[in-house]
Each structure stands twice: as C-alpha cells, then as structure tokens.
C-alpha cells in the first residue's frame, strides 16, 4: 500500500461511520446484542479510538486506556466461535457499506481474522469481572 493504512481507509471520519454501522448490525442481531453491554456507546467510542491507533493514527487510545490488552478486556463477555464469525462478517459488511477499498479490507482482515479468533473465550476459566476504567500499562 502506498499510503498509511488510516489514510487509505478514509481517516477518522470513515472509522467512525464504519463502527457506527457495525453497531447497527450488532443491535439488529439478538445473538450478538446479548454479548454487548446495554449501553454500547462508550464501548463503540473506545473501538473507534483503538482502530484509529491500530491503523497508524495518534496514540489516543493508549494515552487514555493504556495498553490495549484486548483479550483481557474482552473476558467479561462470553465470546464463542459463532460470535467471532458474526463479528467478522458485520465488520466487513460495515466496511463495504462505507466504501472502504477492497485492498484496504484485505490488509485489515489479514490481521483481524486471527485477532477476532483470539478473543473467543467461551468455556474458558477466565476472570469475568470488567476492568472498568483501569488503565493497563
């Protein structure tokens, strides 16, 4: 790719639209909706900041929340293989809906596929208490 990933994706504005669209898909799916907290707003804002940082934008997520430690942050939610598949499908569809170029999606999903599968924790003995606003360094 000839430009930074965040630019090829469409910048912060596109990230915001994609995550909002993804949230709408989750809201419409009873299986997925059951995994998320009642108020999805704060989590969606964190996801936007994480994606921005992950794609090469500023380190705002880490400045506010510390190291992402995504798997640990997802322990409070029981995530099975079905949820992983739906997460990936809805995220891809949100990117398609918002016009993210195919090559950019390919680059992103080369990383997102393994990352999403790593979040699966159903049947595992992991701490289920939320971290709250704890900053993990």
For the segment 63-79, the average pLDDT, to the nearest whole number, is 90
Parse the chain into domains and list their residue ranges.
5-119
pLDDT, residue 7, reads: 97
What's the CATH number for 5-119? 1.10.490.10
What's the whole-model pTM score? 0.90
The 10s digit of each residue's pLDDT in 9-68 is: 999 999 999 999 999 999 999 999 999 989 999 999 999 999 999 999 999 999 999 888
Separation between Cα atoms, residue 123 and residue 102, nearest integer Å: 35
For the segment 103-110, the average pLDDT, to the nearest whole number, is 97
Query: With helix as H, strand as E and coil as C, how does 4-72 read?
Result: CHHHHHCHHHHHHHHHHHHHHHHHHCHHHHCCCCCCCHHHHHHHHHHHHHHCCCCCHHHHHHECCCHHH
For the segment 67-82, the average pLDDT, to the nearest whole number, is 90
The secondary structure of residue 112, as a DSSP letter, is H
């Amino acid at each position: 790719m000839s430009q930074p990933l965040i630019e090829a994706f469409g910048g912060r504005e596109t990230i915001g639209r994609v995550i909002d669209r993804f949230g709408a898909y989750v809201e419409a799916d009873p299986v997925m909706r059951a995994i998320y907290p009642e108020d999805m707003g704060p989590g969606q804002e964190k996801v936007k900041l994480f994606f921005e940082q992950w794609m090469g934008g500023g380190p705002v997520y880490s400045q506010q929340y510390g190291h992402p430690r995504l798997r640990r942050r997802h322990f409070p939610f029981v995530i099975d293989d079905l949820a992983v598949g739906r997460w990936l499908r809805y995220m891809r569809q949100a990117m398609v809906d918002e016009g993210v170029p195919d090559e950019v999606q390919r680059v992103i999903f080369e990383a997102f596929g393994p990352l999403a599968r790593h979040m699966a924790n159903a049947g595992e003995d992991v701490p289920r208490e939320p971290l709250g606003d704890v900053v993990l360094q």
